Every structure is written in C-alpha cells, then in structure tokens.
Amino acid sequence: MVRIIGKDYSRSELGRWVGDFSQVAGVKPYQLTEGKGKGARCVDFWTGTGFQFTVMLERGMDISQAFYNGRSLCWRSSTGDVHPHFFEPEHLGWLRSFFGGLLVTCGLTYAGSPCEDEGEKLGLHGRISHIPAEEVRIGKEWKGEDYFLSVEGKMRQSSVFGENMLLKRKIWTKMGESRFWIEDKVENQGYRETPFMIIYHFNIGFPVLAEGSRLISPTIEVTPVNEEAAKGKEDYARFTAPIPDFKDKIYYHKMRADENGFVRCALINENIEEKGLGVYLSYKLDQLPNFIQWKMMGETEYVVGMEPANCHVEGRAKERQRKTLRKLKPGETQEFSLEVGVLRGKSQIEEFERKLKSLEKSSN
C-alpha cells in the first residue's frame, strides 16, 4: 500500500484515479540547455508527498536540489548548476563549480583542504563530484504494493600510472515516501594500493536553516578544527540569522550509534511548516566513523554542512601524518548505505529527538 494525501491505496485502487502513475510519483531524465550547466544530464524525482529532488548525472550523481511542499531543503550557491567541463582542480578552484545542493560527494583519493602529499599537489575536495555517470539505468516498477523509483550508474576516477577507482551508486525511493536511500560501492580496480578518502557533504539551507534552528545529534564529544571554531563552540548546535563577514567554523563530532550501528542526526526548524520542518541523515558508523559539521552563518553563504566521512578535512598530507589515511588494496571494495529524509511537524521532530535522548540514557 502507498499513502497519498492521508489515505492508503493499493496499486489497483490508485490506477482507477490516474492515467499514468507519474501523475503521483515518478522519475524524469532531461538535459540542461544553457549557461554553465549546458549539456548536463539530470534526473528529477517526485514521490507524491510534496518531496522532490534532482540527481545530476554529470556531477557524480550528486543531488543539486531538494524540496518539500515547495520549500527548499538545501543551500544553493551563486555558481548555479555547472557542467564538469568547468572543473578547476587546482587549490580552491573546486569552489567555482560548487553548486551546494543537498549532496556533493568529496573524494575519492583525496578530500578536504588543498595540500601537497608526497610531492603531489592536491586541490580542494577531490574529483569525484566532477565525473559523469556511465551505464545509467532508471527504474520505475511495482514490487507487490510498493512503487519503486531509482537511478543507478558508475563513475570511474582513473589516471595512467595512477589510481583506477570505480564508484557504483544507486539512489532510490518509493511512492508515498519523504525520504530516499543512497547505496554506494567503491572498488579499487587498479593494481596498486590507493589512498581512499570520502566525505558525504550534505548542505542544509534556508528555510530549514534559519534563526533558531538546531542540530540534534547523538554527539559524545565536539572538537573545533581551529581557533576560529573554538570561539562560540558551546553554540555549535544553534544557529543565527545571516551575519556579515562571518568566518566559517568546522567541528569534528564523535557520534554514538544505535543498537543497529546507525547514527541518526538532523537539522530542524521548529518555527515553520506546521510547527516544524527538518532534514535528517542516517548512516552506519562503522562505514563512516567521522562526522564533520560546517557552520557558515555568512550572508549569501548561509549553510550548515552535515558530513559523514571516513576522513578529516585538513587534507591528505595531514591524514597521512596522523596515520589515519585509509587505503584500498587492489580488488578491495567498500560499501556505504545512507538514508536522507524529511521530518514534518512537531510530532515527528519530538519522536526523533526522544529516540536520541533514550539512546544517550541507555549508554550511560
């Protein structure tokens, strides 16, 4: 059964009301036709609940936009959608095509700050978000009484005399849901042990992010990355209106997982959408042991990053120096599973927070 506008429908019942199921929920591929995004392939999803999002096939199958009932769930930068032809890998050039969006994937062989590692000059956040998808498949099918919508593809990051890393990604959802799932598999298809860094850079913006919004998370310990972040550390989970000339702050969180090994966290605004609207993440702690919070309260650049990762953000050289640099051996694979969704209204937010508090109590 699927739940649409407050009522449950079977497949046959719903079929009586519509000529095509895309009237309620669907997937639509298309290409952008102008500007810096010209030629980029995109896929729109809508689920019948007011939840919709866009996957950019040209940009590592990242998610450029997301909405709930017409309200944006993410921050969008001034660059707009940018085709990977405009990628500038040197130093901070990555920022010229950083559209923000709900998700930008950072990696695969380096991520975080620019640095020089063993004689190799590395820019910001890696290449994977600028690699187009291949062997793309779009799915729309009933399985029993559930209507599944999906897109899957492959991105290969490779170089002669260098790495040969393959990311297989599947993003899927169901009719009647206000959430989606990401299933990733990274494989070292080369014959050399290769550095492996990945950050899932989720970017939450206005109106979910606003004065009075809060981050709720099973945080055990918060560590500021630098002196700037140490200023006001006690307010890491609370957010203000945009502030002129604000300097961004980055925090590392030590998180507590639930009995199934999942970390669940959310950014919520209790002052809109019938007493509350939020975006939550769920991921496996053993797959992504680090959590990075990016707090940016600046004008125009008004965003909070919720970023599960297998690394830190100070660059690969620092990771190697700490002896925390992860590597994949030839033929080795690593899988990742994430869930991203909407919290709607006071009751869902309170239930989400109640579960986090009970987890804290059970761990003490």
Mean pLDDT of 65-82: 97
* 261-285 pLDDT tens trace: 999 999 999 998 668 999 999 999 9
pLDDT band at 130 (very low <50, low <70, confident <90, very high): very high
- CATH number of the domain within which 297 lies: 2.70.98.10
Amino acid 273: pLDDT:
64
Amino acid 129: pLDDT:
98
Mean pLDDT of 31-43: 97
Q: Encoding tokens for residue 126?
A: 């890696």
pTM over 0.85: yes
pLDDT beyond 90 at 325 = yes
Amino acid 168: pLDDT:
98
pLDDT band at 6 (very low <50, low <70, confident <90, very high): confident
Domains identified in the chain, total number: 1
3-state secondary structure the chain: CEEECCEEECHHHHHCCCCCHHHCCEEEEEECCCHHHCCCEEEEEECCCCEEEEEEHHHCCEEEEEEECCEECCCECCCCCCCHHHCCCCCCHHHHHCCECCEEEEEECCCCCCEEECCEEECCCECHHHCCCEEEEEEEEEECCEEEEEEEEEEEEECCCCCEEEEEEEEEEECCCCEEEEEEEEEECCCCCEECEEEEEEEECCCCCCCCCEEECCEEEEEECCHHHHCCHHHCCECCCCECCCCCEEEEEEECCCCCCEEEEEEEECCCCCCCEEEEEEEECCCCCEEEEEEEEECCCEEEEEEEECCCCCCHHHHHHHCCCCEECCCCEEEEEEEEEEEEHHHHHHHHHHHHHHHHHHHC
pLDDT band at 361 (very low <50, low <70, confident <90, very high): confident
Mean pLDDT of 133-150: 97
pLDDT beyond 90 at 364 = no
pLDDT band at 351 (very low <50, low <70, confident <90, very high): very high
pLDDT beyond 90 at 55 = yes
Range of the domain at 329: 2-17+26-363
Task: Name the least confident of 2-16, 206-220, 301-315.
Answer: 2-16
Distance CA 65, CA 74 (A): 7
Amino acid 114: pLDDT:
97
Better-scored residue on pLDDT, 353 or 362: 353
